[in-house]
Structures are given as structure tokens and as C-alpha cells.
């Protein structure tokens, strides 16, 4: 390019860590442009800091391959290269290069920037290739530093059947479009005017060589990858660009963008669970997409999309033999797993998702959207129907299994011979308490509609003989006698007046020397915000009339009802446990 266009340039690798969230961008070319811009900005700032002068122009580029909506960059290993090339085999795909041109100048010691960008798309069609040919190409080593796993300018050219568009774009840089863009930006009639003048403020060869040495230690996508432009501004409108200093440019809000599109990942997970994808792969994996599609009665194309999304989310693993469950899915997403969150996912998909779509109305009107779907858990007699109640029970059971051991072992409970778990649902905590305390008899006291469905949740083992279930409403009926009462994940569901009513009933039933064990996700005392934890989404989003409290508030509540000795145990970021006892006579 230097000899053709009269440009004097230095190649300076960028150290920008290319981990932008692809889901945060509407189109593949916007992702390529933003990546290119961030790389170019990194180089511009480093040159300015190193040489104390601004380079005239920094050019960044980033090339990606896309097929069926999936962005393919460089393969991480040979297996990844095989996945990419297999996906391209016999199909047409797009090659996008995002190019950014940053005009730099120094003003008052500050680096000032004007940013332009464009992208080029070329359509490439692969021939139908044999497995042997694909692996022969992979073993050549060429795919490992190429976007999409191939280089058209070298051995990879044998994979290509046809091309529509700029060949050099596929090779890594759209030279023709770039030259036109430079002439447009700098209002020059031809390439001759692009030569640097004697006043050039660009980096010296010494500076650039030094930066090249620094860049070799950091991430570098190579010549086919580049810095992205500013998608918010139309290309070719240099005079309308706002000048930014290097210090005033805001950081790229990757976390915020992931939050904005996070619902898409949730819905993909919900859909995979609803279609029993993880159950299908439990015993027969690995399976190809066509086999999974047949088993879940879905299209091969749609199933392939869903499976690849699950791979990207870390829920599935993929090899040349097919798809299989990741360790995460095996542990938590099988419908019959010991620590399955399948029920909690079903609750959110079938009920909470629809309820939260009405959140704007709830905020404007001050009323709670669909109270059953977002709130009263199993404490309401009005909970609609056995199927809905069973869905809630599965959700609570899955969450309780993850926290039961922390609650059961937070304190030494050996001095108690009997316990009553109020609102204990399926008995997940009760069984863990029995396992840890062989001499403890535990009664689970919950609504009749709950206790009649608990059979399918019961584990095997001797501790089952220590646990019994009694139907009743703890706001209306007499509480079973016990040395220790338990309220796990209950108090946050209710406003203060109901909490005082419940604690008064517990205090009246608790014998002198008896105790009350409370487990909740407590607010941070300084910020009054919930600490990070597994149950935060349930506590902060699913209640409608209750609320989370700090540990000092729970201490005051318990002391107000005659529990003088109050001990607190923090069990990490999952749940907090309070043990309070009535004074002995």
C-alpha cells in the first residue's frame, strides 16, 4: 500500500483486549467497527504518550466472518477451527471489515481526535468439502490466525467456490474503499495528495518500533483485524464530528450493553429448558443438531441456532461429534437433578416473564403486577390451582437445596430435640437439618395444598424418618410444639404488621429456652442494598408487599418479641442466618 499510494506508515499492534459482547450490537459490522475503533484509540494514545506528539492518522481495521447470524473470529484451537469450517462448508457467508480512520492532533498537550469509519461486505461461497480435506487444511496451521478459520490469499483459497465483492476485503483490508474514503475525508483529488508533508507529526521510527515491541506482549488480532469506528456518526461527515480528548472519551459500556440485551440470553435458557434440550442430552450425548431436533420435535435449523446460543452461554459443549451438556447444565438444568433449578426457570418463564412485561404500568400506577406471579410464594391460600402451586414448589425446592446446608450448619443446634419449619414447603431444609442433627425431629408446617404434593420431593435415607409434614396456616392455626422454630425465606414476603403478627404467634408458642432460626438475604447496613447473592432476584423482585431488612432490623424485631439472645451468622453471599432464644426462667 505504501508504494501504491505514497503513504509512509508504521504497523503498531494494538493491546486492546478484544472481549466486546457480540450480543450488544445490532449488526455484525457494528461489532467489527467498534472493535476496530477501540484498537485504533489504544494505538493513538500510546503513540501520543510515548512521543509526546500526535500521529497524523491512525487506521484500524477488524475483519470478521458471519454465517447464519453467528460471528466467527479466530479459532482458539484446531477443534474450534473445525467447527467454524464445518459451519461454512457448502454455504455462502459474509466477510465484514470495519475500518476506522482517526485524525489526530495535539492541542495544549492534549490529544484531540476526529473519528470516521466505514465497513465493507464481501460474499464468499465455500465448495462442499470432505472431512479429510477440512482436517488437512486445519493441520496446515493456517486457520489459527484467520477470522473464520481460513485465509483466502493462501491455502484457504482452495476452499472457496465463488466470491462476490472485494477480494482484498476477504484478505483483510478493503484497499479500494479505504483510498476513496481518504480522498473524501481530506478532499484530495488523488493518491498523490495523500503523501505526508514535511510538518508530519507522526511517530518517529524509533517510537513506532518501541510500540511494536510492547504490542507483541498483548493481544493482537493481526493484519486482518482492526480498530472500529464510531457507529453513531455517518461516515464522510468530518466537519460534523465532535473533537474528543483521549481523557474525555468515555469507556465502552460493555456491562451496560450486556444488561440491556440480557433478556435474550434468559429467554434462550428458558426455551432450552422448556424443550427439554438438557434432558435429551443427559444420556445420549453427544448428538448432532438434527438428532436433537428430532427428539424435541423442532426444526433442524432452529435447533442448531438454539444449541449454538447455549454453547456461547456455557450451557453446552460442542465437538465434531455433536453437542453435550456442560458441567453447569448437568448440575443445575436437568429436570430431575438433585440441585435442579429447572422449576425456578419454569416459574420465571411461565409467570414472572409475563408479569414483568407490565412493570411500567405497575410503576406508573403504584400497583403490583400479577401478585401471584411476582410475589406471595406459597403463603397465599389464593394461589391458583394445583399445577401453579406445584410450579412454585419446584422453584422453592431448587433454591432451598442450594442454601439448606449453609442454614443447617450456621449454628450448633444439638441442644434442640424438636424443630418446626414454618412454611418449609418440600422439606429441603428440614431434611438437611435432620442429616446434620441425628437426634432432631423436624415438623414441616405448610398449607394443605402444599403438604399434599410433597411426596415426589422426598429423598431416600434414614433422615426421612425424622421429618414429618403437618398441614396448616401459620397465621390462623395453632403452631405445632417445638423447641426450635424456623422461618427460612419467609419474613421478607410480608409487611411489618404481618411480620409482628407472625413473630408474636411464634413467641407465644416457643417455650423458655427455646429458639427461633431466621434465614434471609439481609440488606447491607451501610448502603441499604442487598448484598450479591443467589436469592437476590427472588427477594428483591418477587415480593410485592414485604421487603428486605438489615440484620440490625431483624435483631430489633426478634428482641421486641422476647428473644433476648440474638446471634448472627453470615454464610458468605448466599444467605444470612439469625438464631434467637427465649430466656430460660
User: 3-state DSSP call for residue 397?
Assistant: helix
Query: Which residue(s) pair with 567 in the sheet?
Result: 579
How many angstroms separate the first and last alpha carbons of the chain? 93
The residue count for the chain: 585
**What is the DSSP code (8-state) at residue 287?**
B
Among residues 240, 95, 237, 97, the alpha carbon closest in space to that of 177 is found at: 97
Catalytic residue among 62, 349, 421, 483: 62
**What is the DSSP code (8-state) at residue 22?**
G
Give yes or no for a contact between 429 and 488, defined as CB atoms under 8 angstroms apart: yes
Distance (Å) of CA 277 to CA 25, 68, 420: 27, 21, 39
- The whole-angstrom separation of Cα 280 and Cα 290 is 13
Q: Following CA atoms 199, 205, 207, 208 in sequence, which dihedral angle do they give, to the nearest 10 degrees?
A: 110
Give yes or no for a contact between 56 and 201, defined as CB atoms under 8 angstroms apart: yes
Cis ω for the linkage preceding 429 (within 30 of 0): no
Give yes or no for a contact between 257 and 24, defined as CB atoms under 8 angstroms apart: yes
- The whole-angstrom separation of Cα 193 and Cα 81 is 43
Among residues 527, 492, 515, the alpha carbon closest in space to that of 561 is found at: 515
**Helix, strand, coil distribution of the chain in percent, nearest 5:** 45, 20, 40
Quickly list DSSP for 105-150.
Answer: EEETTEEEEEEEEEEEEEEEEE----HHHHHHHHHTTGGGGSGGG-
Q: Name the strand (E) or helix (H) holding 57.
A: strand 57-67
No. of H helices and E strands in the chain? 23, 15
Q: Are strands 70-72 and 92-107 parallel, antiparallel or unpaired?
A: unpaired
62 is catalytic: yes
Contacts with 302 (C-beta within 8 Å, 6 or more apart), sequence order: 293
Which cell goes with 70?
Answer: 453467528
Among residues 88, 482, 25, 429, the alpha carbon closest in space to that of 264 is found at: 25
Buried b (16+ CB within 10 A) or exposed e, 427-438: bbbbbbbbbbbe
Catalytic residues: 62
Amino acid at each position: 500500500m505504501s508504494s501504491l499510494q505514497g503513504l509512509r506508515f508504521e504497523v503498531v499492534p494494538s493491546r486492546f483486549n478484544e472481549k466486546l459482547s457480540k450480543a450488544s450490537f445490532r449488526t455484525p459490522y457494528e461489532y467489527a467497527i467498534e472493535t476496530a475503533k477501540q484498537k485504533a484509540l489504544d494505538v493513538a494514545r500510546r503513540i501520543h504518550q510515548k512521543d509526546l506528539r500526535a500521529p497524523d492518522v491512525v487506521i484500524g481495521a477488524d475483519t470478521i466472518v458471519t454465517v447464519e447470524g453467528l460471528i466467527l473470529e479466530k479459532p482458539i484451537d484446531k477443534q474450534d477451527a473445525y467447527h467454524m469450517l464445518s459451519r461454512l462448508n457448502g454455504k455462502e457467508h459474509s466477510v465484514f471489515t470495519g475500518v476506522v480512520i482517526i485524525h489526530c492532533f495535539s492541542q495544549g498537550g492534549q490529544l484531540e481526535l476526529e473519528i470516521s469509519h466505514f465497513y465493507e461486505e464481501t460474499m464468499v461461497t465455500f465448495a462442499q468439502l470432505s472431512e479429510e480435506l477440512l482436517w488437512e487444511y486445519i493441520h496446515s496451521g493456517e486457520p489459527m490466525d484467520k477470522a473464520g478459520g481460513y485465509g483466502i490469499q493462501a491455502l484457504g483459497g482452495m476452499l472457496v467456490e465463488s466470491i462476490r465483492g472485494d477480494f482484498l476485503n476477504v484478505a483483510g483490508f478493503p484497499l479500494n474503499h479505504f483510498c476513496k474514503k481518504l480522498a473524501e475525508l481530506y478532499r484530495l483529488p488523488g493518491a498523490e495528495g495523500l503523501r505526508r508533508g514535511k510538518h508530519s507529526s507522526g511517530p518517529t521510527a524509533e517510537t513506532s518500533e518501541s510500540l511494536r515491541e510492547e504490542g507483541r506482549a498483548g493481544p493482537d488480532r493481526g493484519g486482518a483485524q482492526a480498530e472500529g469506528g464510531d457507529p453513531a456518526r455517518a461516515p464522510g461527515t468530518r466537519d460534523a464530528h465532535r473533537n474528543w480528548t483521549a481523557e474525555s472519551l468515555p469507556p465502552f459500556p460493555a456491562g451496560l450493553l450486556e444488561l440491556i440485551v440480557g433478556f435474550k440470553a434468559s429467554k434462550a435458557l428458558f426455551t432450552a429448558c422448556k424443550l427439554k434440550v438438557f434432558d435429551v442430552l443427559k444420556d445420549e450425548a453427544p448428538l448432532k443438531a438434527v438428532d436433537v431436533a428430532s427428539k424435541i420435535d423442532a426444526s433442524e435449523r432452529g435447533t442448531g441456532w438454539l444449541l449454538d446460543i447455549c454453547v456461547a452461554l456455557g450451557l453446552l459443549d460442542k465437538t465434531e461429534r455433536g453437542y453435550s451438556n456442560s458441567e453447569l447444565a448437568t448440575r443445575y438444568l436437568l429436570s430431575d437433578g438433585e440441585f435442579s433449578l429447572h422449576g425456578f426457570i419454569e416459574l420465571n418463564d411461565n409467570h414472572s416473564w409475563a408479569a414483568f412485561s407490565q412493570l411500567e404500568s405497575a410503576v406508573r400506577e403504584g400497583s403490583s403486577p400479577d401478585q401471584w406471579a411476582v410475589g406471595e410464594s406459597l403463603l397465599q391460600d389464593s394461589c391458583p390451582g394445583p399445577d401453579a402451586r406445584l410450579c412454585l414448589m419446584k422453584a422453592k425446592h431448587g433454591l432451598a437445596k442450594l442454601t439448606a446446608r449453609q442454614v443447617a450448619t450456621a449454628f450448633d443446634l444439638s441442644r434442640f430435640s424438636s424443630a418446626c419449619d414454618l412454611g418449609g414447603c418440600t422439606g429441603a431444609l428440614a431434611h438437611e437439618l435432620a442429616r446434620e442433627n441425628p437426634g432432631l425431629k423436624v415438623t414441616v408446617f405448610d398449607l394443605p395444598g402444599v403438604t399434599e404434593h410433597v411426596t415426589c420431593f422426598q429423598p431416600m435415607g434414614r433422615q426421612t424418618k425424622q421429618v414429618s409434614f403437618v398441614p396448616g396456616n401459620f397465621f390462623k392455626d395453632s403452631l405445632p410444639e417445638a423447641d426450635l422454630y424456623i422461618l427460612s425465606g419467609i419474613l421478607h414476603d410480608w409487611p411489618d404488621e404481618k411480620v409482628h403478627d407472625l413473630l408474636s404467634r411464634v413467641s407465644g408458642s416457643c417455650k423458655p429456652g427455646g429458639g427461633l432460626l431466621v434465614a434471609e438475604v439481609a440488606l447491607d447496613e451501610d448502603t441499604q442494598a442487598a448484598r450479591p447473592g443467589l436469592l437476590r432476584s427472588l427477594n428483591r423482585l418477587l415480593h410485592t408487599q414485604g421487603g428486605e431488612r438489615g440484620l440490625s432490623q431483624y435483631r430489633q424485631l426478634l428482641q421486641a418479641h422476647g428473644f433476648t439472645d440474638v446471634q448472627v451468622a453470615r454464610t458468605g453471599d448466599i444467605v444470612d442466618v439469625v438464631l434467637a432464644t427465649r430466656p430460660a426462667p
